Structure 1
């Protein structure tokens, strides 16, 4: 059976990107997020590749995500970035030897209900300005006291999350670093601050642990810094194919609502991919694709199963030609703004109708 839409994930590229991270932060340990199905790339095969690359820990958002990895015999340490939601989850997290990120006092209360013999590993997350999850910085003494009350708890360290690290001109990241450091002055424990943007754009945030997400998948989170310029390789290539090529006269409208009008006599190609595959309906006319190594562009609205493209730059295009939606030569971070979104959402938005294939396993 011929696949309409194929996402090819190169696990060798992911392992290569781990090496780029190590070169940027040679004195840091790596916690690799594989939440949201490894940013849409496939949690289990990606986690295996990351284990092979010897990252120090994996990270997920929920217990369910962690259990799917354990069911696949992933043995690496796994951190629950949102912590546990109930006593039952806490008990299961301990049983599965997960690292629990604790961000609120009610979670400490849950953990205190566990038997004293429970072998518990935890992080404390501090709110240095993101104002999403995390203890107020003023609560650090209370958290130290909690650790002292429970000498059997294994403490992994302190973490925080940046709000604006992708904006290199914004001074708030430096302010968050200062707040975090001031709150923990003289307090023991490993520190973790840098996400991908922090890792690449803020060297002073490369502490005991780094938590690169998007960078591992070969994208730069910084508009002013390309992935290629720092040696990252895209892990995912998304391809479809031309299933029709038609010639239309000047003035003819294309697709639903006819919001695109041919400015001249034009060849229009029909590509077998649409919003049911994860190609946002919000993509505007002009969104680039690659056909035969040249750039074509969206011409007309995205529909459920198809897009239409202007083939003026690819005069030799014909039915059956591969169409690259993003990948080598067309980074996802370049495509995403055409739908007013980010590469993260493109990857995570792919649906079950897409055929995933893996290289370098």
Structure 2
């Protein structure tokens, strides 16, 4: 269904879109990013580049674009982090609509025309397009992203489409600026993974969301592993991940009903935890204790036990061992998983198929950890 509250933009024929681009030491990527924005078919753009204290040529590249194209403005500031840079960009923006782009990524041709066009037709609070990963020139979409965007859904609320809570990225969305301000949205500062609490708040606060089926954004996977989002093996990273999950969970509990919360704990919240489980062999005691405390905080009999989440079995096994406090057994399981890259072995047990792993014969093993 369409929006419950129709909102009119000041100029429905040529709405102004502000695109905030935080940039820090991305001299190898920024020009391509800005070109992909400036050549959008939706030309009524205001591009606000926030140079967040770069130590390379990023600031000069941004200034060159501003000198050549009046749609580009540049803000130079001392290094303050991604959340602060985005918030400063929002403060400097004047558009009817608001979008974000990371400075090492690319916009798909026609992306903003599609997302702004949807909002103009429906009056919804925000629109969301699909994301493709870009690795060494190859484009691909994750299964969950494909599931969320398999068909267009216009004017839906989060209770009608709870799995959209997994789409926590800031940069594949266009927001109505009046909605952004009325919901008092901003990004947490001085913390990684600031997208999740901010986008969770936005998705739950929205009366209506337009979910589009077409890809709008190319998320670059840096082959050198230099992106913040590719670093998982230190205590600060884990601490920030758990903190932002905690903030987001508080928002979900306060703003949604039971069925949506079941999707949250069972499908959305645990998605990225396996990366931290895999970091356990060789990790510090501090890392292990933090990981176990965080995992048992979110997944327990009062919410959804980790073995009952909808993650693949290998990930559920790892999470269950973490919740059990079985650090050495987790290392054994990870080694076993790595020795079976094509999937865990299976065998017939009577009239059903079961999975073999080092703890398959353990008394009291939850049934969920035996079935594919």
TM bucket, shorter chain = under 0.3
Instruction: Please give the TM-score of this superposition, normalised by the length of structure 1.
Output: 0.27
Between structure 1 and structure 2, the one with the greater Rg is: 1
Between Structure 1 and Structure 2, the one with more helix by share is 2
Between Structure 1 and Structure 2, the one with more strand by share is 1
Instruction: Please give the TM-score of this superposition, normalised by the length of structure 2.
Output: 0.26
More relative contact order in 1 or in 2 (CA 8 Å, sep 6+)? 1
